[in-house]
Amino acid sequence: MSAYERWVAEKYEPVNRCIYCGSTDNLSDEHIIPYGLQPRGGDWFLPKASCARCADITKRFEGLCLQGTLGPLRTKLNLKSRNKSKTSVETSINYREDGRIEKANVPIDDFPMVCIGFDWDAAGLLRHANPATEFSGTQIVRYPAGEIEKVIREGQAFKLGRVGQLEFARMLAKIAHSYAVAKFGEGAFEPLLPHLILGHDANAPYLIGGDRSGSPLSSQSVLHDVYPQACDVNGVPHLLVGIRLFAFMGMPRYLVVVGKMRGSAVDRLRTNPL
């Protein structure tokens, strides 16, 4: 599948402590884009950056997003997988005429190539809103022309997947935080995301949201796009990370508030915008 072309993976020095809790025990490499969303042959990670306890927590919400929601798409794009790829997808078909719902097992080759994401409002902090736990916006489903029509007959509905907004947001938070540490170092900002990533805080929409502004930096051929941004909030410079997963499918962009910037990072980002 050559739907995307560019995949850039940088190399980084080991952190030697957990970027979520600070522990120095049982450290493993932290994939910046989840392992299961990386193309085969590509490897983008921060060495020795997550302890076993935190890795257990992040694995759980990533698993829900990757298997439940994005599973069939990952298989179709031949992205990485630690398990044997499934050959069929469990779904259900809703016959709307009589309301009958039947379970179905659709071969992966016949399952539509769909991608699910969200068109969210911007992060609450950037809108000067109060912390909140409910996202506002709509779910986005994108697929190449004709994909859905291939499997859905007139008068039928088809279960494409299931997405938990909080799990999805925590996955984005993990990408943003690990990317910011990899790119600028832990000293460059006061982190805001670890509590949310570890599940101690549910105010995800306060720091994670959509980005409906302007035209995306990415080109059509990019699998995933991740980039830093700076933004003053009440006069305080903050480090943000823009994320666009499955950019080549036209998925929405997200903008995640990573933390308050400390001097040097601000200068670097302002004099050398990436």
Among 4, 12, 15, 20, binds Zn ion (CB under 5 A): 20
Residue 186 CB, shortest distance to Zn ion, in Å, is: 13
The Cα–Cα gap between 218 and 149 comes to 28
* 169 in Cβ contact with 135 (< 8 Å): yes
Under the criterion CB under 5 A, does residue 94 sit at the interface with Zn ion? Answer: no
By CB under 5 A, what part of segment 249-268 binds Zn ion?
none
Which residue stretch of 11-19, 156-164, 184-192, 263-271 sits at the interface with Zn ion (rule: CB under 5 A)?
A: 11-19
Length of the chain: 274
Residue 197 CB, shortest distance to Zn ion, in Å, is: 10
Instruction: Write out the two tokens for 228.
Output: 């830093």
By CB under 5 A, what part of segment 123-182 binds Zn ion?
none
Residue 165 CB, shortest distance to Zn ion, in Å, is: 24
The Cα–Cα gap between 240 and 204 comes to 14
Under the criterion CB under 5 A, does residue 23 sit at the interface with Zn ion? Answer: yes
Under the criterion CB under 5 A, does residue 197 sit at the interface with Zn ion? Answer: no
Under the criterion CB under 5 A, does residue 18 sit at the interface with Zn ion? Answer: yes
Residue 59 CB, shortest distance to Zn ion, in Å, is: 12
Give whichever of 54 and 265 is closer to Zn ion, judged by the CB atom: 54
Burial class (CB in 10 A: 0-12, 13-18, 19+), 273: exposed
Give whichever of 23 and 165 is closer to Zn ion, judged by the CB atom: 23
Residue 191 CB, shortest distance to Zn ion, in Å, is: 13
The Cα–Cα gap between 65 and 62 comes to 5
By CB under 5 A, what part of segment 27-66 binds Zn ion?
51, 54
Residue 193 CB, shortest distance to Zn ion, in Å, is: 13
Which residue stretch of 21-29, 38-46, 189-197, 223-231 sits at the interface with Zn ion (rule: CB under 5 A)?
A: 21-29
**Of all helices (H) and strands (E), which one includes residue 267?**
helix 263-271
Among 3, 21, 108, 151, binds Zn ion (CB under 5 A): 21
Residue 11 CB, shortest distance to Zn ion, in Å, is: 22
Which residue stretch of 15-23, 33-41, 201-209, 224-232 sits at the interface with Zn ion (rule: CB under 5 A)?
A: 15-23
Give the C-alpha distances (Å, rounded to integers) separating 7 from 76, 123, 176, 250, 264.
17, 27, 17, 17, 28
The Cα–Cα gap between 145 and 160 comes to 16
The Cα–Cα gap between 5 and 160 comes to 26
Which residue stretch of 23-31, 129-137, 145-153, 223-231 sits at the interface with Zn ion (rule: CB under 5 A)?
A: 23-31
Give the C-alpha distances (Å, rounded to integers) separating 217 from 42, 84, 213, 269.
21, 34, 11, 16
Give whichever of 93 and 258 is closer to Zn ion, judged by the CB atom: 258
Helices (H) and strands (E) in the chain, counts: 7, 12
Q: How is 187-226 classified by DSSP, letter by letter?
A: GGEEE-SHHHHTTS---HHHHEEE--SS--S--TTBSEEE
> Given the structure tokens 């409910």, which residue do they identify?
134
Give whichever of 59 and 80 is closer to Zn ion, judged by the CB atom: 59
* Site residues, Zn ion (CB under 5 A): 18, 20-21, 23, 51, 54
